[in-house]
A = this chain, B = another copy of it.
Amino acid sequence: MMSPTSLTDHSKLCVHTITTKPWSVEESMDKYTEAGIGGITVWRQWLEGRDIAKVGDQLRDRNLEIVSLCRGGFFPSKTEPGLKEAIEDNKLAIREAAELGAPLIVLVCGAVPGQPLEESRKQIADGIAAVLPLAEEHNIKLAIEPLHPMYADDRSAINTMASANEVCDQLNHPLAGIAADVYHIWWDPDLEEQIRITGEKDRLFAFHICDWMTPTADLLNDRGLMGEGCIDIPGIRAMVEATGFDGFNEVEVFSDRWWSQDQDTFLKAIKEAYLKHS
């Protein structure tokens, strides 16, 4: 196990807009700036009804680094129209990222209950390949986020770093890489080696943090803030940094519990937990 360096300021802290779900993108950008947070990852729902280029300008005006747009993906389908629709939506996401000025899109790759995961993985690789030319045109990176195996039924057929690396190997494109989220991968006995490989191949594009609660009351919306659960976040960050990664540490917490509380208090807790437990 590597020893992690300490985090001493919030310059590399990025918060996902979904983490402070009750806030609009305008509220989020003001609150994050006021809190001295370095970066923001914008979820697409937060851009609905907005002039996206203008939101990008507002973020840049505040010196908030736009880390990524969340999320594209959901490529698999049992029907031809479904497959095409997914590709169109991912092209739209690429155009949105370009308008916003986000350098990267996170991909939750998708799965269809009952369809063999192998088939879904093939559709995912084909889907990414189909949108890579547009990504190239706008210079937008696409980051496959391996999802925890408990989401293999309907959210992603890519459930380990190894599986994500395999798809990236097939795509073999400098804009196709991986977003590593501790929540999804912490349990993997092969984690250190896979992070090493990901770095070696210049495809470790993003790093997400949160914690795993014991017990976990809900499969989707019971993530913990760093330090509330059992994940060795500093240990995994050390593996990530050993590859040369110097990007943001993105806090992505889905939590009915935290969302029901005062979000200013929550943001303060995020900042503290970031320094103490990340």
- Looking at the complex, which of A41-49, A149-157, A172-180 is the stretch in contact with chain B? A149-157
Q: How far, in Å, is A2 (CB) from chain B's closest CB?
A: 13
Interface residue tally for chain A (C-beta within 8 Å): 29
Bound complex: CA A152 to CA B162 (Å) = 19
Q: Which chain B positions have C-beta within 8 A of A159?
A: 187, 189
- Residue in B113, B116, B154, B188 whose CB lies within 8 Å of A1: B116
- Looking at the complex, which of A16-24, A58-66, A83-91, A213-221 is the stretch in contact with chain B? A213-221
Q: How far, in Å, is A159 (CB) from chain B's closest CB?
A: 6
- Residue in B1, B113, B188, B212 whose CB lies within 8 Å of A153: B212
Residues of A within 8 A of B (CB): 1, 113-114, 116-118, 121, 148-150, 152-154, 159-160, 162-163, 186-189, 212, 214-216, 219, 229-230, 232
- CB-defined A-B contacts under 8 Å, sample of 12: A114-B230, A118-B189, A121-B189, A149-B187, A149-B188, A150-B216, A152-B187, A153-B212, A153-B214, A153-B230, A162-B189, A215-B219
Nearest 9 interchain pairs by C-beta:
A152-B187, A113-B230, A150-B150, A149-B187, A153-B214, A113-B214, A114-B230, A153-B230, A149-B149
